[in-house]
Amino acid sequence: MLYYGPSKCIMKFIGAWCPVLTSYNEATKMNVLNFETNNAQNVTSLNHAAGVLFPALSDKTDFNAVAEPIYCKNHETGTAQKIDKSIGRVIRRTDNFNELGIVGARYGIAPNKPIFDMVCEGAEATLPRQALQDIQLKEFASYGGQYTRFELVFPGLGADIRQLNNNSTQLLFRVGVSNSFNGSGSVRVMAGAYDLVCTNGMIVGEAEKKAARHTSGYTPKIFAGFIETECAKYLERVRTWQAWARNEIRPEQAEQALNDAGMSGRRVASMMTQFEAEAATRGRTVWALYSALTFYSSHNSERFGVRNSGNVDNEAVTLDQREREVSRVIGSEAWARLAA
Concatenated DSSP letters of 31-60:
-B-S-------SB-SS-PPTT--PBPP-TT
pLDDT value at residue 153: 92
pLDDT at 13: 39
C-alpha 151 chain-centroid distance: 8
283: three-class secondary structure by DSSP: coil
8 Å CB contact between 254 and 285: no
As a whole number of angstroms, the distance between CA 146 and CA 165 comes to: 44
d(CA 120, CA 241): 25
At 102-121, the pLDDT tens digits run: 998 888 899 999 999 988 98
- Report the pLDDT value the prediction gives residue 47, as an integer from 0 to 100: 56
The answer to whether residue 10 scores a pLDDT higher than 70 is no
Pick the range with the lowest mean pLDDT from 77-81, 173-177, 205-209. Answer: 205-209
pLDDT tens for residues 295-320?
998 878 778 888 777 767 888 888 88
Q: Residue 218 has what pLDDT?
A: 66
Which range scores top for mean pLDDT: 1-5, 157-161, 269-273? 269-273
| 162 vs 27, higher pLDDT | 162
Mean pLDDT, rounded, for 186-195: 84
Q: What is the mean pLDDT of residues 150-170?
A: 88
What is the rounded CA–CA span in Å between residue 189 and residue 204? 12
Give me the residue spans of the domains in the chain: 112-244, 247-339
Q: Residue 99: left (phi > 0), alpha (psi -120 to 50), or beta?
A: beta
Percent above pLDDT 90 for the chain: 38
pLDDT above 60: residue 149 = yes
Can you give the pLDDT at residue 43? 47
Grouping H, G, I as helix, E, B as strand and the rest as coil, residue 210 is strand
Q: Residue 244: is its pLDDT beyond 70?
A: yes
190 vs 176: CA distance, rounded Å: 5
Terminal CA-to-CA distance of the chain, rounded, Å? 35
Q: What is residue 314's predicted lDDT score, i.e. its pLDDT? A: 87
Mean pLDDT of 14-23: 43
> What pLDDT score does 138 carry?
93
Residue 144 pLDDT class (50, 70, 90 cuts) = very high
Mean pLDDT within 75-96: 88
pLDDT of 24 over the 50 cut: no
CA-based R_g, the chain, Å: 22
Task: Decide if pLDDT at 204 tops 60.
Answer: no
For 32-37, what is the mean pLDDT? 40
Q: What is the pLDDT of residue 87?
A: 86
50-73 b/e (C-beta count within 10 Å ≥ 16 → b): eebebbbbeebbbbbbbbbbbbbe
As a whole number, mean pLDDT of residues 271-291 equals: 94
Q: What is the pLDDT of residue 38?
A: 38
